[in-house]
Every structure is written in C-alpha cells, then in structure tokens.
Structure 1
Amino acid sequence: MSNEEPKSHSATSTSAELNSNLRSTKTIITGHNTEGKAIVQSARPAAWTVFENGLMGFNQIYTNPSPPDLNGDGDLKFHDDKIASGKLGLAVKSGTVCRMVDFAPEYVCMMHRTQSLDFGIVVEGEVDLILDDGNSTRLSRGDVAVQRATIHSWSNPSTTDWARMVFVLQDTKPLVIGGKRYGEDYGKGTEGIPPSGNDD
C-alpha cells in the first residue's frame, strides 16, 4: 500500500494515434440480415482521442441509453451521433459507456469520480488503482476493478511499457453518504473532457 499523492496532469485533447507499444485494435459489430440471420455487420478500427500530450488515450467503443434500441440500428446511430457531438463525458445519462484506455509508462491520471458503476478490466500490462485514502492496489492482466462511484486514480507502474484497460460505465442513482451527496468530480487537469450530465 502507498500513501503517495498521485501526480496531476493537463488533459487537453486532440485526435491522433497514440505512439504506444501496444497492438492496434478493432471493434466487431454484429447485426442481422434480411432473413434474421446473425452477421458481422462491420469492423471498426480504433479511433483514439489523445490526452496529456500523448500520455493517455481513449478509444470510445460504444455508448447507448439503457436499454438500447437495436431496431433499425438505432443504437449505432446514437453512438455515432454522441461521438460526433464531442459531448460525451466519462459516463452517460441513463446509459452505458464502453471505452478502451491506454496509459503511457509511469503515467498517473487525475483523481476523479463519476456517478457510475464501472467495471475496469486490465487487458495489457499492470495498473495501480489509487484511492483518496492513499491506498494503492495493483491489478494485473485479467484482473477486474468494480468501481462504485469512488474517487480514484489510475497509474501505470511500468517504466517501459504501456498499459491498457477496458471500462464499462453504467449510470447510477445519486450516491448519498451521511446525508452528503457525492456527484461527479473530474478533479484538476481535465480540460477537454465534457461533464457526463448525469448528476444534475
């Protein structure tokens, strides 16, 4: 366990490819043909939004209201429109976000909280989960963090290799502890990330 305070970084964003040592990735989307048979409808390459001068990147895989409407590809239109709007926060109101995040060696993201229930799966490397009580827990490839609206940070402890996580975030009811409301808090250095708009 560590009591070290995580570093804070500027989070201005640009669209570009990450210069990482991780392999490229794609999203396979299924659908149905006119006879109702399952098909692979499309294969979408990763589209990275780069933060912190290339130290962290988001690949937005999917976002939708809950439950999503699959009729007439309504779910895909919702996702594409949300991404094109540039107004997707870390979470989404009354819905779900699936996102891939890459972290550069020794990168530590800002302390933050979302009004959401998050499943964070390490798919490459190791990542430290740092909480606001100062404790740090190391996750290895295949480990899963169930993040229950706590304020936290992620750190890549490697000095040489990038790390990758996949997150699924679900909107939740407001969190109240001891009569105090704990809403979304992006912390310092989050310019370029819109608010989620789910804790108004």
Structure 2
Amino acid sequence: MNQQQKTFRRIVTGHDAAGNAILISDAPPTHTQLVGGPGGPTFFEVWHTLETPALIYAQPVEPGENGLVLPPPKNGTRIRVIEFPPEGEEIQKLTGADAAAKFKSMGDEKASTSNEAAPHPLMHRTKTVDYGIVLEGEITLVLDKEEAIIRAGDIIVQNGTNHAWANRSGNICRMVFILIDGAFTDEVVHPKN
C-alpha cells in the first residue's frame, strides 16, 4: 500500500503598493491535521473566505481559526485537500457516539447522521455545496440508497446530501474540496414521503 504523504504548495497572490500582481506566499499549507488518529484522514486546510462576495485585499492574510472546522464560515467558502487512507475494520465498528465524536473533533458534531441503519458509520450532512475533485486514487461516495466509485480526474458536486466517503481501494486517495456555505430549500427540509 502506498501510504506516503506528498507535499504540495499553496501559492497566494496579492498586490504591491503600485497595484502590481505579486506572490504573497509560496509554501505548503500551514494547517494540517490528522483526524481520528492513525488510519484516519489527513486534512490540509488551504484557505477560506469569510463572506460572499469575498473581499479582495492587496496583501491577503489567511483568516485565523482555532482548530479544524468542517464547514465553511457562514456566507463563506473553504478549500481543503484530504488524504483518505484505505478504510480499515475500525471504521466499520464505529458506533453513532464514536462517529459524533469524530465530527466533533472537526468542529461540527451535528453533521453526523450515523445510526444503526446507516449504510456507513461516518454518514454526515452539511448545509453546503461541495465541489470534490479526485486528484489521485479512488474513493466510494456512499449515499442513503446508492454508491458511486469516483476515480482520479472525476468531479463530484455534492448538494447538501447525506453521505460518507469510503476508501476501499487499498491505496491513499487524495481529493480537493471547495465548500460553499448554503441553505436548504423547503423541498429539502420537508421532503414528500
């Protein structure tokens, strides 16, 4: 199994005093966190904005946050890279309380929708539109009633649905996610049965 993490650069642009485009920084992301201990995913927090439309500063500074936060800020956006290791048996043995604790460590305990009838122990839902792009490897998108295998180059548009990610491939899967704060419409909050 290929478990070695690859580094990548986060290049941030801005403007000098004369209005010329310049590089502000060129380095790996400053905030990286392993979630759930060994065998869990690694989150690389790339950037987030605090509002839409996003304010464009001449000398942008990464907005501060305390710890890992799963969703984007209210009315904001977030971009992150996640490396999903192959899923082990420990994931399948998680209880609803265990899953809630994992999401709490990501700053969003209420996102967890895990229960005994769930198709995957790490099912969750956020009020976001997420663009997910598989950079390398493959992963299974688990929904309430179906699944899809997503491979390198594939793009997912995840519209606030209940879901989980299951890496059943035996190799690391690296994905980039762009998360946009959203709001559920009445038809999503009150579906017809």
Tell me the TM-score normalised to structure 2 length: 0.73
Match for residue 110 of structure 1 among 105, 111, 122: 122
Partner of 1:5: none
Match for residue 146 of structure 1 among 143, 157, 166: 157
How big is each residue's C-alpha offset from its partner over 1:61-105, in whole Å with a ceiling of 9 and x where there is no partner?
1111212222254x525x2x2x2x237332321110111111011
Task: Decide whether the 8 Å contact of 1:61 with 1:99 is kept in 2.
Answer: yes
The verdict on how the C-alpha distance between 1:69 and 1:127 changes in structure 2, with shifts beyond 3 A counting, is same
Q: Which runs of 4+ in 1 moved over 6 A?
A: none
Partner of 1:37: 20
Task: Decide whether the 8 Å contact of 1:112 with 1:151 is kept in 2.
Answer: yes
Partner of 2:168: 157
Say which structure, 1 or 2, has more relative contact order (CA 8 Å, 6+ apart): 1
2:67, 2:135 → 1: CA distance?
A: 27
Task: Decide whether the 8 Å contact of 1:111 with 1:151 is kept in 2.
Answer: yes
Tell me the TM-score normalised to structure 1 length: 0.70
Task: Decide whether the 8 Å contact of 2:167 with 2:173 is kept in 1.
Answer: yes
Provide structure 2 residue ranges, at least 5 long, that are not aligned to the other structure: 92-120
Question: What is the Cα deviation at residue 178 of structure 1?
Answer: 6.7
2:131, 2:55 → 1: CA distance?
A: 22
Partner of 1:192: none
Match for residue 46 of structure 2 among 61, 67, 76: 61
The structure that is strand-richer by fraction is 1
Task: Decide whether the 8 Å contact of 1:115 with 1:175 is kept in 2.
Answer: no
2:15, 2:46 → 1: CA distance?
A: 20
Count of paired positions: 156
1:130, 1:96 → 2: CA distance?
A: 24
Question: What is the Cα deviation at residue 152 of structure 1?
Answer: 0.3
Task: Decide whether the 8 Å contact of 1:128 with 1:157 is kept in 2.
Answer: yes
Partner of 1:172: 182
Please state whether the residue corresponding to 1:53 is helix, strand or coil. Answer: coil
Partner of 1:128: 140
Task: Decide whether the 8 Å contact of 2:45 with 2:80 is kept in 1.
Answer: yes
Partner of 1:195: none
Task: Quote the RMSD (CA, aligned, Å).
Answer: 2.2
Question: What is the Cα deviation at residue 44 of structure 1?
Answer: 3.0
Question: What is the Cα deviation at residue 153 of structure 1?
Answer: 0.5
Please state whether the residue corresponding to 2:73 is helix, strand or coil. Answer: coil
Question: What is the Cα deviation at residue 53 of structure 1?
Answer: 1.0
Give the partner amino acid of 2:161. Answer: T
Please state whether the residue corresponding to 2:164 is helix, strand or coil. Answer: strand
2:156, 2:68 → 1: CA distance?
A: 26
The verdict on how the C-alpha distance between 1:63 and 1:179 changes in structure 2, with shifts beyond 3 A counting, is closer
2:155, 2:188 → 1: CA distance?
A: 28
State the identity as a percent: 31
